Amino acid sequence: MPAPVNAFKARLKSGDTQIGLWIGLGDPSVAELCAGAGFDWLVIDGEHGPNGLRDVLAQLRAVGTRSHPVVRTRDDNRAEIKQMLDIGAQTLLVPMIESADQAREVVRSVLYPPAGLRGVGAALARASDYNAVPDYLHSANDQICLLLQVESRAGIAALDDILTLDGIDGVFIGPSDLAADMGFVGRPGAPEVQAVIDDALRRIRSAGCAAGILTSDRTLAAGYARDGVEFLAVGSDVGVMRAGLKELRDAF
């Protein structure tokens, strides 16, 4: 029996736009609630959300198979990547990628040898259903989905080199950090920033890689969907909850 099929990864290659939501509150009940809302994918945010290893594990269990969980790691630390994979994350979003060399090392981190350097401990791991998946070691590489987050001027400059590497399933543009690095803090919708984002998304897709982005601006989101962005996040648990609560309070 092989590793479970990663349907999110397979669908990235179809050209469909998969709609996602950010989960930043770090709470399994919130993750469970979001999983039942019909989104194609959910980001469990380990970079900015208050999430340690066991918090991510609890949210993976809460989401289950009702949506596809994408775990954003804190950074490109190889040991942390290994742990996230071992607790059952099949899709990782790794932030702050700024060079082809850095991207190459992340690819090596998610793959078992000889293709990569992922530590072999599947017999102890949830990923292999605690050694109940006998072919896990031989099939896991094919089902791991690696998304790299480019969100700085350095990353944009290195994008074409990054896109030449094997083992990268998608590149996600981080609009907020990119805007800040360009001198437009808090203004990812600025025309100057959007011009860079649009060009980057076009280059990603032209290279045959899946492109992704997050925005809570519905006009921008609709435009990204029309352009064929393959994985599009349209908001967050924090934003949706705050907006809903404020709307309810304002109504009375």
Active site residue 48: yes
> Residue 8 corresponds to which tokens in the numbers above?
């999110």
Pairing state of beta strands 170-173 and 18-23? unpaired
The answer for residues whose C-beta is within 8 angstroms of residue 54's C-beta and 6 or more apart is none
87 vs 21: CA distance, rounded Å:
21
For residue 150, give the H/E element and its range.
strand 145-150
Assign residue 36 a region (left: φ > 0; alpha: ψ between -120 and 50; beta: otherwise).
alpha
The alpha helices in 64-99, defined as continuous H runs, are 78-86
Residue among 5, 10, 14, 48 flagged as catalytic: 48
Instruction: Supply the residues annotated as catalytic.
Output: 48
